[in-house]
Amino acid sequence: MKIPQNQIINSEFILMKNIKKIIAFSAISIAMSCGKTSEEKENNTTEVTENQPLNIIFMVGDGMGIPQVSSAFYFGENTPNFKQFESIGLSRTSSTSHLITDSAAGATAFATGEKTYKRAIGVSKDSVALPTILEQLKEQDYQTGLISLTSITHATPAAYYAHVEDRDMHEDIAKQLVEAEVDFFAGGGKKYFQNREDGLNLYDSLTAKNYKLDTLELSKPDYSRRNAYLLSEEGLPSKTEGRGDFLGDAAKTAFDYFEANEKPFFVMIEGSYIDWGGHAKDDQMMIQEVLDFDKTIGVVLDFVKSHPNTLLVITADHETGGVSIGKSYDENGKEIPQQVQVYFNTDQHSTELVPVFAKGKGEELFRGIYENNEIYHKLMQAINEN
């Protein structure tokens, strides 16, 4: 406040008096702040997070049924991260054309909320393009991400951005990925972006779309651009072939990128080779892929715990191998009491219900037994109710 001319004589006195008042008020404020209970402080934090859009982390253990999850408890050295979940459900995986589905129809159900026919990517049972959760959230100013061990054009990641009648249309799918402008993606599939039958070089197209493209390593992201990591011609190596910690490292890299841009995000992370272990009837491959997926869950849970405005949902598109875990026998046919063994009933998918694990805001929505396409609707409900 401007002091009138006739009060200039008293200005120094008034100034000192006001300073004393400010100091006294500050001391009271500090004392009140220090006197707040932990519950009051927590409520203040809650008020801040409640006004923020919900981050969504969706993890798919391709081919991961209950027996595969069980293997982590019997063959791992540490307590599985699966044990940290209290909100658990079961999902029925059938497609509109087959009781026993495939990854394309399963992922389309997750991504669009509609069941479709086997081999379909992002289209209805009548082959009409369906909007995906990734596309819808992008329109709401969400950042978007996809991480896979297979080609990034493979069925599970493709269902979030592509719309084709058959999952093997990899070149069309790759072209649609460029057009989709996903902010962060990591996986394999280099061959579908260059040396294509149509002669297009999609590396150039990605650069034109403001992507930092790395085909050699999972390097530090460029926070001012989109980021694309294409690290193998098709799929990455399996865990038993020496893949290392790609899945967890890619998740950390994505979180680092999303946090730097300070906007909500949706990311799908696929543990692809649990399924491949089942198809190969390779128990060691299956077990190691489950353990790697569980380790990645630990990385993601660390993020969720420090970012309360995040929902993590983990499930599978189907079970592969008709797996059971039973008694183990020595070469003489005698049971080994402290060992168990993996048994495969088939080298194909099965119709077993698959588990759903949820942690974070809205996790209670995922308890119970429901169809796989309901997962999309539950995710959207959690976002809208936040």
Distance from the Cα of residue 132 to its chain's centroid: 15
pLDDT tens digits, residue range 281-326?
999 999 999 999 999 999 999 999 999 999 999 999 999 999 999 9
Average of pLDDT values for 215-226? 98
pTM of the model: 0.88
Q: Could you give the CA distance from residue 84 to residue 81 in angstroms, rounded to a whole number?
A: 6
Q: What is the CATH number of the domain that holds 273?
A: 3.40.720.10
Average of pLDDT values for 269-280? 99
The mean-pLDDT minimum among 16-25, 237-246, 310-319, 345-354 falls in 16-25
318 known member of a binding site:
yes
- Asked whether the predicted pLDDT for residue 360 surpasses 80, the reply is yes
204 known member of a binding site:
no
The mean-pLDDT minimum among 14-23, 65-74, 127-136, 174-183 falls in 14-23
- Asked whether the predicted pLDDT for residue 3 surpasses 80, the reply is no
Residue 115 lies in a domain: yes
Residue 344: the pLDDT is 99
Residue 198: the pLDDT is 94
Q: Which domain holds residue 214?
A: 52-320+351-385
319 known member of a binding site:
no
Q: Return the higher-pLDDT residue of 52 and 159.
A: 159
- Asked whether the predicted pLDDT for residue 192 surpasses 50, the reply is yes
Q: How many domains does the chain have?
A: 1
Residue 344 lies in a domain: no
Considering the chain, what percentage of its residues have pLDDT values greater than 70?
87
Q: Could you give the CA distance from residue 375 to residue 311 in angstroms, rounded to a whole number?
A: 13
275 known member of a binding site:
yes
Task: Clarify whether 205 is annotated catalytic.
Answer: no
Residue 19: the pLDDT is 38
79 known member of a binding site:
no
Residue 224 lies in a domain: yes
Q: Is the dihedral of CA 115, 120, 122, 128 positive or negative?
A: negative
Catalytic residue among 94, 103, 151, 272: 103
Mean pLDDT of the chain: 91
DSSP characters for 206-255? HHHTTEEEESS--PPP-TTSEEEEE-SSSSPPPGGGT--SHHHHHHHHHH
Q: Could you give the CA distance from residue 349 to residue 312 in angstroms, rounded to a whole number?
A: 25
- Asked whether the predicted pLDDT for residue 163 surpasses 60, the reply is yes
Confidence of residue 327 (pLDDT cuts 50, 70, 90): very high
Average of pLDDT values for 333-356? 98
Confidence of residue 51 (pLDDT cuts 50, 70, 90): confident
Torsion of CA 12, 15, 17, 20, to 10 degrees: -130
Residue 238 lies in a domain: yes
The answer to whether the beta carbons of residues 277 and 68 sit under 8 Å apart is no
Work out the number of other CB atoms within 10 angstroms of the CB of residue 101. Answer: 27
Work out the number of other CB atoms within 10 angstroms of the CB of residue 138. Answer: 18
pLDDT tens digits, residue range 123-135?
999 999 999 999 9
- Asked whether the predicted pLDDT for residue 216 surpasses 50, the reply is yes
317 known member of a binding site:
yes
Residue 363 lies in a domain: yes
- Asked whether the predicted pLDDT for residue 21 surpasses 60, the reply is no
Q: Return the higher-pLDDT residue of 19 and 335.
A: 335
Residue 44 lies in a domain: no
Residue 99 lies in a domain: yes
Length in residues, the chain: 386
Residue 29: the pLDDT is 41
Residue 42 lies in a domain: no
